[in-house]
Amino acid sequence: MGKLSVSFDGLELNNPIMTASGTYGYANEFDEFIDVSKLGAIVTKAISLYPRAGNKHIRITETEAGMINSIGLENVGIEKFIETKIPELKQNNINYIMNVAGSTIDEYVQVAKKCENEKIKAIELNVSCPNVKSGCLEFGTDENSLYELVSSVRAVYSGFLIIKLTPNVTSIEKLGIAAEKAGANAVSAINTLKGTSINIELINGKYKKTIVQGGYSGKGIKPVAINAISRLYKVINIPIIGIGGIETLDDVLEFFAAGAQAVQIGTSNFTHPNTAERLVEELDEYINKNGFKSLEELKKELRA
């Protein structure tokens, strides 16, 4: 393991830079832009028990400091993922974490069982997507529901279990504690904020309004993410993976200072597909230039 390596309990990463679910794809889609093998890991699109077509209305709109998406967790389903995507991941030697979504506890459990059978070493439970009518956010906003879900998945899945938390709650601390008590190995934070965009046009004296509601992400949510991670760091003992508006090395360092052990790059992948690989290189250069013996030494100094 090198200077940038991250060692969790059951999950080893060559570096702490990952891509976030929903912003990358399934396997090697970004090969044209980056050397995916240089990343700590990719986190796949959310995978559900059955294929999902996603939402029919407007799915993405840009905002002044990010974007709003309402994709609706479109995906190929677990059987197709196992059949077509896992071979691609193995063939290209891509370290991956599979994001899992469901409408009921039973759906999450059934997908987790298949992950166990396929020896998928790490999964991230999506309990925080605001763009679907049932599931996900229903579990992620109540600590008792979250505890029941995580416990149920933990009972059938022995690999590294990450819970992706929502910022759309009063106390993210209660959810982090519930996830840890239920057997999670780590949490990732944050998923998107609920957002609405209204595009107004005056046409022949009448207003035409186009309304897009969904998950708000991008640079504008970084202070919210830093706040959430700082609060979680004080109350849980499992690793925190930081997400939210990361574009630069300074952003990464800020997340480390707040308590994140690793980070995921999300919205920036759409505008600058090489962001994740660039940050790996910049972080390596920064550690060597400033005489740190390891990534852990850097984190320790940032939190002092």
Q: What amino acid positions are annotated as catalytic residues?
A: 129
CB hemisphere CA count around 286 (13 angstroms):
16
The amino acid at residue 292 is F
Rounded distance, CA 296 to CA 286, Å? Answer: 13
CA distances from 41 to 47, 53, 100, 122 (A): 17, 26, 16, 10
CA angle (227 as vertex; 224, 231 as ends), nearest 5: 140
Q: What's the DSSP call for residue 266?
A: -
**DSSP assignment string, 68-103:** EE-----B--HHHIIIIIHHHHHHTT--EEEEE--S
Helices in the chain by DSSP H: which ranges? 78-80, 86-91, 105-117, 137-140, 143-154, 172-182, 222-233, 249-258, 268-271, 275-289, 295-302
Comparing C-alpha atoms, which of 119, 202, 125 is closest to residue 166? 125
Rounded distance, CA 18 to CA 26, Å? Answer: 13
Comparing C-alpha atoms, which of 270, 261, 248 is closest to residue 294? 261
Rounded distance, CA 45 to CA 81, Å? Answer: 10
